[in-house]
Structure 1
Amino acid sequence: MTPTVFLRQLQVQTQEVLRLVKQEYLPCSPAALNQQPAPGSWSALECLEHLNRYSRYYLPELAAAVRHPARLPHVAVGFSWLGRKSCELVNPDNQRRHTTLARMNPASSQLCKDTVLSEFIGQTEQLLRLLDAAYATDLNRKTVSVEFFRLLRLRTGEALLFLVAHVRRHVAQGQRALAGAGK
């Protein structure tokens, strides 16, 4: 896939997530947003807080990656084995549950609606700016360290896809939690 098509798809998906969170999460009460649909399941706010924790790491990494212009316009976006596996793991269509790192797990937290939503919206807007900047960079360059093992690196395009897919996965999970909470 060409970089232009790839980035445009990620932008559309990210804009849709932002629209959905503003439309469906913002009007909800703090109680509904904090209600877990089942014991051991995350509430809608816990889903967003999990994403906030990942974005605190990956957004600065991606900002550094897209800062170096080196666009190769006719080179297809490629994926390494690690990149493919990482993106498959967080794909919203992958319904398998996964264990997260303890520091990324906000389970059983009473979270502040305004704080979590404000940070999430700000980070999602920052991600959209990074996607805009990525049009001028080489998406196949290995520049982004993996959060849990920083010696491993993802290509810039892989890291962007990973982050967008991860956001989509957990926003959908949060929607299911809200549906169970009755908003």
Structure 2
Amino acid sequence: METIQKEPLLTTLEQRVEEHLQRAIGLFRNLPERELLQPSPTGGWSIAQCLDHLNSYGHYYLPKIQEGIEHNALRPSKDTFKSSWLGAYFIKMMDPETGKKKYKAFKGHIPALELDAYTVVAEFIQQQERLLEYLKQARSVDLNTVRIPISIARFITLKAGDVFQFVIAHNERHIRQALRNVVDITERIPH
């Protein structure tokens, strides 16, 4: 794993979260509820289910990230970050550009069939705003020393820099899935 500069990494991650936020505000929030709840014609999740799945990860990771930042706020910070081998593996696995394999959702992260679509979208927007705030706060902590337990095996911890990258790559993966449903919906609408 190579050592990278923290500032450009956090800036890139902030830009990706901003894109996710703008998709949710500009597109998902404005879709009719029936379209948000329409299952994918290929048998996959609806747009609301994709976002609900991401919200379930936000319920776990956002408080852990906040706690990690708060507990390390007074410690010296480094200007660089180096992924662990395990963190790099998880990021590569989840990033839609490098991880093409499909995975089954873990228990506790499987979205419900019946959802209040607008509540799900609103919560996703709130979570992305919180994530942006934590990325800004992360500039003052050492992304190498803040350790966060992963949701599927809490005895395994990853560096905060790896967790940020993993969560945002996972968000990207499922936002792309949700966007495919938008394309499918527009193709089904009679002209």
Matches within 5 A, 1:156-167: 156-167=160-171
**Which moved further from structure 2: 45-54 or 96-105?**
96-105
Corresponding position: 1:71 with 2:62 = no
User: Separation in 1 of the partners of 2:179 and 2:42?
Assistant: 17
> Taking structure 2 as the reference length, what is the TM-score of the superposition?
0.90
> Taking structure 1 as the reference length, what is the TM-score of the superposition?
0.93
Contact 2:29 2:122 in 1 (8 A): no
Deviations 1:72-112 (A, max 9, x none): 12xx31111210111112102233211111210116x1211
CA shift for structure 1 position 177: 1.3
Over aligned residue pairs, what C-alpha RMSD do you find? 1.4
Match among 43, 59, 64 for residue 61 of structure 1: 64
User: Separation in 2 of the partners of 1:39 and 1:17?
Assistant: 23
Match of residue 178 from structure 1: 182
Corresponding position: 1:101 with 2:106 = yes
Match of residue 122 from structure 1: 126
Matches within 5 A, 1:11-50: 11-50=14-53
Structure 2 unpaired stretches of 5+: none
Contact 1:83 1:154 in 2 (8 A): yes
Match of residue 115 from structure 2: 111
- The 1:152–1:142 alpha-carbon spacing in structure 2 relative to 1, beyond 3 Å, is farther
User: Separation in 2 of the partners of 1:125 and 1:155?
Assistant: 21
Match of residue 89 from structure 2: 85
User: Separation in 2 of the partners of 1:5 and 1:142?
Assistant: 19
User: Separation in 2 of the partners of 1:119 and 1:40?
Assistant: 25
Which protein is bigger by CA-based radius of gyration?
A: 2
Percentage of pairs with the same residue? 28
Structure 1 unpaired stretches of 5+: none
Contact 1:14 1:164 in 2 (8 A): yes
CA shift for structure 1 position 3: 0.5
